[in-house]
Structure 1
Amino acid sequence: MKSIKYIVDKTFHYLGFVLMMVFVACLLFWINNYRYFIYALIVTVIIFLLRNSTKTGWKAKGEYFLMLLALIYFPLLTLMSVSPFLKFKEFQWTHPEWQQTKGQVLSYKSEWETPFRRVSGYAFIDVSYQYTLNHKVYTNTEQKAEKMYYPIWESKERIQLLKAKLLQQTKQQIDSQKCILLYDVNHPKESRFFVSRSLFYLQGSAIYAFSIFIGVLMVLLIINLFFSFKNKNTI
């Protein structure tokens, strides 16, 4: 009969594996656009088939394939995350039946998302708009049409400042008529409102907040190591 410790160890081993798979699934298909993963998978398969690998055995080839997939997927995810222009073009390419039309912005408001007790929170804009097709008026709201991340814990004053900054940024985009409204030709009530088509917008990406946060931690770690080493030499 197997010991209780063996059973507990195996239980936690498989539980950890399941939790990791759930996290990966959320990362690929919920938090981010699942199409990015499909693009990376297609490119990975092509490279894997065309490139002569020295790996032998199914396990070694599988590990090589997963490593190659990660090396393609995460840079692609980063690039799409920081470029509103690429996200807009990707939507156009994958929705050829959607056409551009003129619309009118009815209102927009800024709110604050606090996923982890204000750590890496972000301000976001909801935009309500309407458009007319074949003498019929449609009204929709684009949820979180634009975001503005901040990498560290926020005070109430800073949160209000970021919300105001995002409101002003959105107002400038709307006043300059740079926003784009697309609708589904087959289902006219379905539409998407794009506030920005900037080539790069770093602060609109969670990767920006994460990178700054990690950078701050690295600086603090280096400072701590420096003084620890200095104190050790003075003893």
Structure 2
Amino acid sequence: MTEKFKKISDTFFTVLGGILVGGGIIFLVFIENPVRYFFYTVLLVAATNFKNFRNFKIDFKKAARGFLITTAVIYLSLITVLSVSPFLKIMEFKWSHSDWKPVNAQTIQPFTSWDTGYKRKGNSFVNIDYEYQFSGTTYKNSESEALYQYYPFWNRETSQDLVKEFSKSVSEKIQKRDYLILTNPDQPEKSKLFLSTDLLYFQGSLFYDAVTGFAALILIFLAIIGAVFMWPRKRRK
């Protein structure tokens, strides 16, 4: 009976783990990031490990595991670098959309807000409505979540104050024209707006949220350890 229960339990957690991993992959590859980032990674790994493909005939499981691990590491590194560098993200987009042309905004209207949804907890973000001209015709478009900003757990400002501060920084970027709009000449109604051209914008990345969250865990762990060691000393006194 115990052995049967263990078998069922192992199967359940294996399936659950597979679902969670699969869901995470789908979220990162198809929802949170452009699919082409994943294709870049696969092509890079395949090109750099071309000679190792013969290992698939020798030990398929080991070779496949190594290929998947390498792909995962490079993919996570790629999306992390692009998430913290608006400049590199623009360069990648220009490279992958080489025929798209820059245009000037006729009007640009930001709408800042606070997000506590499933994708990002506790961050400011901005949606942009804008108009531009191409070949004498005016087009309207919008860029959802054109820019966002995360905050460390120790930040005690209210969400209203944080959004207000973020809105001010967005307005300054627009006034300084620190943004870029690209449009498809063949379909000028299609366009892409980048609200920041900074080389680094660490606080606008999910990586920032992960790092500050990890820092919080470390501080909590150190506090617990400190309390454990200090408690006996206080009792002796």
What TM bracket, shorter-length normalisation? 0.7 to 0.9
Correspondence for 1:172: 172
Correspondence for 1:39: 40
Shift of 1:119: 7.4
Correspondence for 2:125: 124
Residue 125 to residue 57, structure 1, CA distance change in 2 (3 Å): same
SS of structure 2 residue aligned to 1:96: coil
Tell me how far apart the structure 2 counterparts of residues 209 and 92 of structure 1 sit (CA, whole Å): 27
Correspondence for 2:81: 79
Task: Render the CA deviation track for 1:168-187: whole Å, top value 9, x for unaligned.
Answer: 11111111122211111011
Task: Render the CA deviation track for 1:154-209: whole Å, top value 9, x for unaligned.
Answer: 77x52112212221111111111222111110111111111111000011111101
Correspondence for 1:196: 196
Correspondence for 2:21: 20
Is the 1:179–1:196 contact (alpha carbons within 8 Å) kept by the matching residues of 2? yes
Shift of 1:152: 3.0
TM-score, scaled to structure 2: 0.85
Q: Size of the alignment, in residue pairs?
A: 232
Shift of 1:113: 1.1
Residue 127 to residue 52, structure 1, CA distance change in 2 (3 Å): closer
Shift of 1:19: 3.4
Is the 2:45–2:70 contact (alpha carbons within 8 Å) kept by the matching residues of 1? yes
* Segment of structure 1 superposing worse, 79-88 or 104-113: 104-113
Residue 70 to residue 5, structure 1, CA distance change in 2 (3 Å): closer
Specify every segment of 5 or more residues in structure 1 that has no aligned partner in the other structure, as ranges: none
Tell me how far apart the structure 1 counterparts of residues 53 and 46 of structure 2 sit (CA, whole Å): 12
What percentage of aligned pairs have identical amino acids? 28
Residue 119 to residue 229, structure 1, CA distance change in 2 (3 Å): farther
Aligned letter for 2:20? L
Match of 2:70 among 60, 68, 71: 68
Shift of 1:6: 4.4
Shift of 1:26: 1.3
Tell me how far apart the structure 2 counterparts of residues 39 and 232 of structure 1 sit (CA, whole Å): 56
Residue 186 to residue 134, structure 1, CA distance change in 2 (3 Å): same
2:198 aligned with 1:160: no
Aligned letter for 1:185? P
Residue 221 to residue 12, structure 1, CA distance change in 2 (3 Å): closer
CA RMSD of aligned residues (A): 2.9
* Segment of structure 1 superposing worse, 104-113 or 93-102: 104-113
Aligned letter for 1:49? F
Specify every segment of 5 or more residues in structure 2 that has no aligned partner in the other structure, as ranges: none
Residue 71 to residue 232, structure 1, CA distance change in 2 (3 Å): farther
Is the 2:106–2:133 contact (alpha carbons within 8 Å) kept by the matching residues of 1? no
* Segment of structure 1 superposing worse, 135-144 or 86-95: 135-144
Tell me how far apart the structure 2 counterparts of residues 174 and 7 of structure 1 sit (CA, whole Å): 58
TM-score, scaled to structure 1: 0.86
Tell me how far apart the structure 1 counterparts of residues 70 and 108 of structure 2 sit (CA, whole Å): 46
2:110 aligned with 1:103: no
Tell me how far apart the structure 2 counterparts of residues 119 and 22 of structure 1 sit (CA, whole Å): 17
